[in-house]
């Protein structure tokens, strides 16, 4: 068991959102918004039901111990938040939400449409007396429309949003469209929910007024499929999925190439322009593997640049060139091809598993992409390495602290922010409103 | 920045001016959202160096730079200025524009602006409050800063490509440049955070984004599983295909449907939903078997469970499965095609997801709208993607005080 220690969150270091208070009523759909805001200095109070958020039950767990304070999924999505564990189904719990939002800047929520209004916590209820409040509702399909009450998960969102139609295999007969793992439907929607919230915060600086944002995962995913909709809207054609590369309306050469050490690289932009083609063929020739690619006809293809490449993709010559390049790649290690190609300015990339970046000195050492975050509840002086900042601010830096334990800040928030006395807290605990 | 006095603001970012040197997808995705929120985005190109996407699949096979479908959706709500920064007068004009702007965005490789003599230190001398957002592949520091990425490169290196696929098979990866979209989002997010910070402190700053790092940021759980449990994501049973081992729930998968290569998804997350599912598929006898009696046993026996469910789904279209199961309160969906999303999806129609506006060469520009409704500062499709140089004259004369005589010279000498 982890020892429960009631903690005051660490001092912040001047992040861009310092001074902004966010009340978060979110599960898996929207919890990433609060994390991204908290990591940039906002004070984020996460409201959790008694026993803790459902996401605390999602694996993997620290040392595979399924404890609500040990879910690594929860940790990854809930850094830089305080936890208030309270029953908002009860009037006393609703009163607490009203008191907190009376002075808060932002309320984030991802309940089903209509739920918060049904317990007296609509935007009208909450902004009464605090017209500066910004409330962002992130739902599966939006606050209105025929699908409003339909149920969704990340898998459903990626299917309905058209993303899965573009992802999968063209050379594995009978294989299904693939959902890229990692809760990306929720993340796409959270990115948009965050963008709307930030725009509203900027606007409020000038207008003095907050606003209500109705954001939908369905629309967010549908607007994140690159060529798929523009191609249909203007050409009337559906793109189809292809292994490890872009969707298309006509087959394109496979860009996933296997290396001598059994790894893969993404290899593309072969015929970008004449210079890059000549340097590629020169590199292959040094290894004695250029075969016939020094012939004039390939230079003509390369001269055509991107148009030439596209025009050439259906031809035997282009297929042959790809095959020769594939043989060259198969004779070398993944590291040699990746570094060699990048030295020649080809945008080729190793297909890495996420943890492999922990050992890439560019990210791990030079850019300090990973952050050691203290976990005193596990042991004195214990820190754990997390994925760090997704952007580098030079004036108002990213700075995260660990996710809260269940209800870790219930007492401090209710006493310090709301002014409840010891007696008030005992009454709430007796009535099953808080666990304390 | 002009301090807007009115309470009736047209857009959330009204009054913010953005100098947009960006091109292809990631940068334009970033500035598109700034423009959608009401910023004045000035896209800078010239005839010799135009946004490459202008040439992408032009409608009607034309060589016009104004007819690309993808360009159209990525560049609405922006103005186009043609200007040659390599010419001394062009550089002077850019510096004047920097004085009158709030944000500079570019997604070139990491040394381009420095080579122009327009790195952040120089920008700061011209306008101390400027916010400079650079969106390169590997960032502006570090030993590999000169490496280059496109969306697929960043997806591969960050780990996202590897995380998508069936166990034991090659990576399925992403079928499009997800990290161009998402790299763009992180640019927009960072810029708005920096604007909020500047409102408070008066300070500008350099936002140094790396497309790969923004991708790594999306792999947090996998990184922790390694640093805490020493368990690599690269292992036999991974990636998980369409299943949900992290939640231990089943059924959770894609299922074949009536029609050629048609699929639905079903995700039963609770015992209640399982009960609803069993009723909705007509209480077949296999659902009462002991091996399917609990979430845990269904998860453990999901190979056979999935086969049995597929025998039901194969007799229905994806949308039939979707409606039958959603009607019974079970999370399910159709793997929708672009045609279905553009023409049939009643929810997207209800929410006016596809927006239209007249376009000089295309007749109508059709674009994906911003996926949210804002009560005080609603999104508007103010203008279609700009024709190359469409707004040059107004920007030169109204904003940069170029006389009509000089404007002629700028065009003649290839500066504009």
CA pair distance A180, A224, nearest whole angstrom: 14
**Whether residue B187 is found in the same domain as residue B316:** no
> Does residue B364 fall inside a structural domain?
yes
**Which pLDDT score is estimated for A271?**
77
Q: What is the distance between the alpha carbons of residues B20 and B38, in angstroms, rounded to a whole number?
A: 14
d(CA B217, CA A77): 11
For residues A325 and A370, membership in a common domain is answered with no
Last residue of some domain: B307, B334, B361?
Answer: B334
Tell me, yes or no, whether A276 and A187 share the same domain: no
Does residue A335 lie in a domain region? Answer: yes
B152 with B204, same domain: the answer is yes
**Six-digit token string for A431:** 């009535």
Q: Same structural domain for residues B81 and B144?
A: yes
Same domain, B201 and B312: no
The alpha carbon dihedral of A223, A226, A232, A237 has a sign of: negative
- Give the DSSP per-residue string, B120-136: HHHHHHH-TT-EEEEEE
Query: Can you tell me the distance from the alpha carbon of B206 to that of B186, in angstroms, rounded to the nearest whole number?
Result: 14
Q: What is the mean pLDDT of residues B59-75?
A: 94
Strand (E) or helix (H) holding B373: strand B372-374
End-to-end Cα, chain A, rounded Å: 18
Is residue B373 domain-resident? Answer: yes
Domain boundaries, position B274: 263-334
Q: Are residues A293 and A372 in the same domain?
A: no
Give me the pLDDT at residue A7, please: 57
How big is chain B, counted in residues?
416
- Asked if residue A202 and residue A106 are part of one domain, the reply reads yes
pLDDT (0 to 100) of residue A248: 97
Write the ipTM: 0.98
Are B149 and A347 an interchain contact pair (Cβ–Cβ within 8 Å)? yes
Answer yes or no: is B1 within a domain.
no
**B122 with B209, same domain?**
yes
The DSSP H or E segment spanning A135 is strand A134-139
CB atoms within 10 A of CB B173: 32
CA angle (B275, B276, B281) in 5-degree steps: 105
CA distances from A63 to A71, A76, A404 (A): 10, 16, 18
| Residue B11 and residue B38 in contact, taking contact as beta carbons nearer than 8 Å | yes
* Helical (H) or strand (E) element with A74: helix A72-77
Residue B222 within any structural domain of the chain: no
B136 and B205 share a domain?
yes
| Domain finish residue from A295, A321, A350 | A350
Residue A214, φ and ψ in degrees, nearest 5? -105, 100
According to DSSP, residue B68 is labeled -
* Nearest residue on chain B to A390, alpha-carbon basis: B214
Please give, one letter per residue, the 3-state secondary structure of A217-274: HHHHHHCCCCCHHHHHHHHCCCCEEECCEEEECCCCCCCEEECCCCCEEECCCCCCCH
- Shared-domain flag, residues B38 and B176: yes
User: What is the number of alpha carbons within 13 Å of residue A274 lying toward its C-beta?
Assistant: 7
User: Which residues in chain B (208-267) have CB-CB distances under 8 A to chain A?
Assistant: 208-210, 212-214, 216-229, 231-234, 239-242, 244-248, 252-254, 256, 263-265, 267
Cβ–Cβ below 8 Å for B189 and A348: no
Domain-embedded: residue A3: no
| Predicted pLDDT of residue A13 | 76
B99 and B199 assigned to the same domain? yes
Pairing of strands B40-45, B17-20: parallel
Q: What is the pLDDT of residues B389-410, one digit of tens each?
A: 999 999 999 999 999 999 999 9
By C-alpha distance, the chain A residue nearest B133 is A393
Q: How many domains does chain B have?
A: 2
- The verdict on A72 and A209 lying in the same domain is yes
CATH number at residue A90: 3.40.50.10540
**Hey, is B344 helix, strand or coil?**
helix
| Closest CA–CA distance from residue A209 to any residue of chain B (Å) | 8
Give yes or no for residue B351 having a pLDDT over 60.
yes
* Residue A62 sits in the same domain as residue A189: yes
Give the pLDDT score at A37: 98
Interatomic CA distance for residues A124 and B226, integer angstroms: 45
Residues A274 and A342 in one domain: yes
Distance CA B388, CA B48 (A): 11
**Rounded Cα gap, residues A324 and A328, in angstroms:** 6
Query: Do B38 and B141 fall within a single domain?
Result: yes
Instruction: Locate B258 and state its tokens.
Output: 């009536």
The Cα–Cα gap between B345 and A386 comes to 40
Give the gap in angstroms from C-alpha A47 to the nearest C-alpha of chain B.
22
B28: left (phi over 0), alpha (psi -120 to 50) or beta: alpha
Q: Which two tokens stand for residue B7?
A: 């309470």
Are both A59 and A173 inside the same structural domain? yes
> How would residue B3 be classed by pLDDT, with cut points 50, 70 and 90?
low
* Pairwise CB contact (< 8 Å): A145 & B351: yes
Identify whether the C-beta of residue A198 lies closer than 8 Å to the C-beta of residue A192. no
Q: What integer best gives the mean pLDDT of chain B?
A: 96
Q: Can you tell me which residue has the tokens 């697929």?
A: B152
Specify whether B291 is located in the same domain as B165. no
- Note the pLDDT of residue A300: 84
Please tell me the predicted confidence (pLDDT) of residue A311.
Answer: 52
Q: Is residue A206 part of a domain?
A: yes
C-alpha dist (Å) from residue A327 to A259, A269, A281: 9, 17, 13
pLDDT of residue A11: 75
Sequence-distant (6+) residues with CB within 8 A of A411 are A6, A425, A436
Shared-domain flag, residues A295 and A385: no
Asked if residue B251 belongs to a domain, the reply is: no
Chain B residues whose CB is inside 8 A of the A249 CB are none
A371 vs A160: CA distance, rounded Å: 36
* Residue B93 located in a structural domain: yes
Same domain, B184 and B316: no
b/e string for A263-298 if b means 16 or more Cβ within 10 A?
A: bbbbbbbbbbebebbeebbebbeeeebbbebeeeeb
DSSP state of B376: S
Is A422 domain-assigned?
yes
Q: Search chain A and give the residue with CA nearest B181.
A: A224
- A143 belongs to a structural domain: yes
Query: Which among A145, A225, A387 is the nearest to B219, CB-wise?
Result: A387
Domain-embedded: residue A388: yes
Rounded CA separation B134/B186 (Å): 11
The whole domain housing A294 covers: 253-258+264-350
Instruction: For residue A428, give the nearest of A125, A69, A85, A117 by alpha carbon.
Output: A85
Q: What is the mean pLDDT of residues B342-363?
A: 97
Query: Do A148 and A55 fall within a single domain?
Result: yes
- Using a CB-CB cut-off of 8 Å, the residues of chain B touching A142 are 347, 351, 373
Question: Taking CB atoms and an 8 Å limit, are A347 and B195 in contact across chains?
Answer: no
Catalytic residue numbers of B, as ranges: 180
A236 within some domain: no
Tell whether A99 and A184 lie within a shared domain.
yes
Q: What Å distances lie between residue A80 and A22, A364, A370, CA to CA? A: 11, 22, 16
Residues in CB range of B92: below 8 A, 6 or more apart: none
Provide the domain count of chain A. Answer: 2
Peptide bond into A60 cis (omega under 30): yes
Among residues B334, B363, B381, which one ends one of the domains? Answer: B334
Going by C-alpha positions, the residue among B99, B100, B112, B120 that lies closest to residue B207 is B120
Give the CATH number for residue B131.
Answer: 3.40.50.10540
CB contact B353 to A (< 8 Å): yes
Where is the domain boundary, A293, A324, A350?
Answer: A350
Residues of B within 8 A of A355 (CB-CB) are 159, 222-223, 225-227, 232-234
Does the beta-carbon distance from B341 to A222 stay under 8 Å?
Answer: yes
SS3 A127: helix
Considering the domain architecture, whether residues B360 and B298 belong to the same structural domain is answered as: no
Nearest chain A residue to B210, by CA: A391
Contacts of residues A426-433 at CB distance under 8 Å and 24 or more positions apart, as own/partner, are A428/A86, A428/A92, A431/A90, A431/A92, A432/A50, A432/A87, A432/A90, A433/A86, A433/A87, A433/A90, A433/A92, A433/A93
* CB-based contact B248:B315 (threshold 8 Å): no
Per-residue pLDDT of chain A (436 residues; tens, 9 = 90+): 344 445 566 778 789 999 999 999 999 999 999 999 999 999 999 999 999 999 999 999 999 999 999 999 999 999 999 999 999 999 999 999 999 999 999 999 999 999 999 999 999 999 999 999 999 999 999 999 999 999 999 999 999 999 999 999 999 999 999 999 999 999 999 999 999 999 999 999 999 999 999 999 999 999 999 999 999 999 999 999 999 999 999 998 899 999 999 999 999 888 778 999 999 999 999 999 999 999 998 888 888 765 554 554 446 888 888 899 999 999 999 999 999 999 999 999 999 999 999 999 999 999 999 999 999 999 999 999 999 999 999 999 999 999 999 999 999 999 999 999 999 999 999 999 999 7
Is there a single domain that holds both residue A215 and residue A147?
yes
Q: Which among A248, A142, A240 is positioned nearest to B335, based on CA atoms? A: A240
Residue A22 CA: distances (Å) to CA of A17, A83, A206: 10, 12, 20
First to last CA, chain B: 25
Identify the sign of the CA torsion A13, A18, A24, A29.
Answer: negative
Nearest to B169 among A72, A172, A232 (CB): A172
Distance, CA of A397 to CA of A101 (rounded, Å): 27
Of A238, A350, A385, the CB nearest to B337: A238
Q: Look up the CATH number of the domain holding residue B316.
A: 3.30.1540.10
DSSP string for B176-201: S-HHHHHHHHHHHHHHHHHHHHHHHH
- Token pair, residue A263, equals 């790894």
Instruction: Answer yes or no: is B192 within a domain.
Output: yes
Res. B155 pLDDT band, cuts 50 70 90? very high
Percent of chain B residues topping a pLDDT of 90: 95
- Note whether B295 and B241 are within 8 A (CB): no
pLDDT at position B237 over 70: yes
* pLDDT of B309 above 80: yes
Pick A362's closest partner by Cβ from B142, B166, B199: B142
Q: Which of these, B82, B43, B52, lies nearest to B70 by C-alpha position?
A: B52
Question: Is the CA virtual torsion A149, A150, A156, A162 positive or negative?
Answer: negative
B250 domain residue, yes or no: no
Query: Which residues on chain B are in Cβ contact (under 8 Å) with A238?
Result: 337-339
User: In degrees to the nearest 10, what's the CA dihedral of B208, B209, B212, B216?
Assistant: 100
Check residue A306 and give its pLDDT: 54
Residue A235 falls inside a structural domain: no
């Amino acid at each position: 068991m982890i020892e429960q220690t009631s903690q005051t969150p660490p001092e912040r270091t001047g992040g861009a959102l310092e001074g902004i208070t966010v009340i978060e009523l979110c599960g898996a759909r929207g919890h990433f918004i609060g994390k991204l805001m908290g990591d940039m200095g906002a004070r984020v109070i996460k409201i959790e039901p008694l026993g803790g958020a459902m996401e605390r039950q999602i694996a993997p767990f620290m040392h595979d111990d399924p404890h609500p304070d040990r879910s690594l999924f929860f940790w990854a999505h809930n850094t830089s938040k305080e936890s208030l564990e309270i029953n908002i189904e009860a009037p006393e719990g609703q009163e607490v939400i009203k008191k907190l939002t009376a002075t808060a800047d932002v309320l984030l929520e991802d309940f089903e449409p209509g739920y918060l209004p049904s317990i007296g916590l609509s935007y009208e209820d909450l902004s009464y007396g605090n017209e500066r409040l910004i409330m962002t509702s992130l739902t599966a399909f939006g606050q209105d429309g025929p699908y409003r009450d339909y149920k969704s998960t990340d898998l459903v969102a990626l299917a309905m949003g058209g993303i899965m139609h573009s992802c999968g295999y063209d050379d594995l007969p009978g294989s299904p469209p693939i959902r890229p793992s990692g809760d990306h439907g929720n993340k796409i929607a959270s990115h948009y929910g965050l963008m709307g919230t930030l725009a509203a915060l900027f606007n409020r600086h000038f207008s003095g007024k907050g606003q209500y944002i109705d954001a939908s995962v369905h629309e967010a995913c549908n607007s994140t499929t690159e060529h798929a909709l523009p191609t249909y809207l203007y050409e009337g054609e559906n793109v189809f999925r292809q292994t490890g590369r872009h969707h298309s309306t006509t087959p394109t050469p496979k860009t996933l190439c296997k290396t001598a050490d059994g790894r893969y690289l993404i290899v593309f932009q072969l015929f970008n322009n004449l210079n890059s083609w000549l340097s590629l063929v020169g590199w292959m020739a040094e290894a004695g593997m250029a075969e016939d690619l020094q012939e004039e006809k390939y230079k003509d293809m390369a001269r055509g640049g991107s148009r030439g490449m596209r025009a050439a993709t259906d031809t035997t010559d282009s297929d042959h060139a790809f095959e020769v390049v594939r043989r060259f790649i198969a004779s070398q290690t993944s590291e040699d091809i990746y570094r060699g190609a990048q030295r020649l300015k080809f945008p080729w990339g190793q297909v890495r598993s996420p943890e492999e970046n922990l050992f890439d000195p560019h990210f791990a050492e030079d850019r300090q992409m990973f952050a050691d975050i203290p976990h005193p509840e596990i042991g004195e002086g214990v820190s754990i390495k997390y994925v760090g900042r997704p952007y580098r601010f030079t004036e108002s830096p990213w700075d995260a602290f660990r996710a809260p334990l269940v209800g870790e800040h219930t007492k401090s928030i209710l006493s310090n922010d709301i002014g409840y006395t010891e007696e008030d807290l005992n009454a709430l605990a007796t009535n099953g409103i808080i666990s304390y | 920045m002009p301090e807007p006095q009115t309470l009736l603001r047209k857009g959330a970012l009204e009054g913010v001016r953005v100098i947009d040197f960006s091109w292809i997808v990631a940068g334009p995705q970033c500035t598109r959202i700034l423009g959608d929120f009401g910023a004045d985005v000035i896209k800078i190109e010239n005839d010799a160096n135009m946004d490459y996407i202008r040439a992408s699949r032009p409608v009607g096979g034309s060589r016009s730079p104004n007819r690309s479908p993808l360009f159209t959706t990525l560049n609405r709500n922006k103005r186009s200025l043609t200007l040659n920064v390599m010419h001394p007068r062009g550089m002077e004009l850019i510096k004047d524009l920097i004085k009158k702007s709030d944000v500079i965005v570019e997604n070139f490789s990491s040394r381009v602006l420095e080579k122009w003599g327009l790195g952040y230190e120089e920008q700061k001398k011209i306008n101390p409050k400027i916010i400079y957002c650079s969106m390169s592949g590997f960032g502006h520091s570090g030993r590999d800063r000169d490496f280059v990425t496109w969306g697929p490169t960043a997806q591969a290196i960050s780990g996202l490509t590897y995380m998508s696929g069936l166990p034991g098979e090659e990576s399925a990866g992403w079928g499009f440049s997800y990290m161009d979209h998402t790299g763009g989002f992180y640019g927009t997010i960072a810029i708005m955070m920096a604007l909020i910070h500047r409102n408070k402190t008066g300070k500008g700053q350099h936002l140094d984004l790396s497309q790969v790092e923004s991708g790594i940021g999306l792999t947090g759980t996998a990184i922790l599983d390694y640093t805490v449990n020493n368990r690599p994501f690269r292992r036999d049973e991974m990636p998980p295909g369409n299943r949900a081992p992290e939640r231990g729930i089943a059924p959770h998968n894609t299922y074949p449907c009536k029609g050629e290569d048609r699929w639905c998804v079903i995700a039963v997350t609770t015992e209640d939903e399982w009960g609803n599912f069993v009723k909705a598929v007509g209480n077949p006898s296999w659902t009462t078997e002991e091996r399917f009696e609990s979430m845990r046993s269904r998860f453990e026996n999901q190979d056979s469970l999935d086969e049995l469910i597929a025998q039901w789904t194969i007799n229905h279209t994806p949308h039939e499965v979707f409606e039958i199961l959603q009607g019974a309160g079970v999370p399910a969906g159709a793997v929708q095609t672009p045609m279905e999303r553009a023409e049939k999806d009643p929810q997207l129609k209800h929410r006016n997801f596809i927006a239209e506006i007249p376009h000089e060469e295309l007749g109508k520009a059709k674009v994906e709208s911003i996926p949210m409704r804002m009560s005080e500062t609603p999104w508007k499709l103010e203008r279609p993607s700009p024709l190359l140089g469409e707004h040059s004259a107004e920007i030169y004369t109204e904003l940069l005080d170029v006389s009509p005589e000089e404007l002629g010279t700028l065009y003649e000498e290839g500066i504009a």
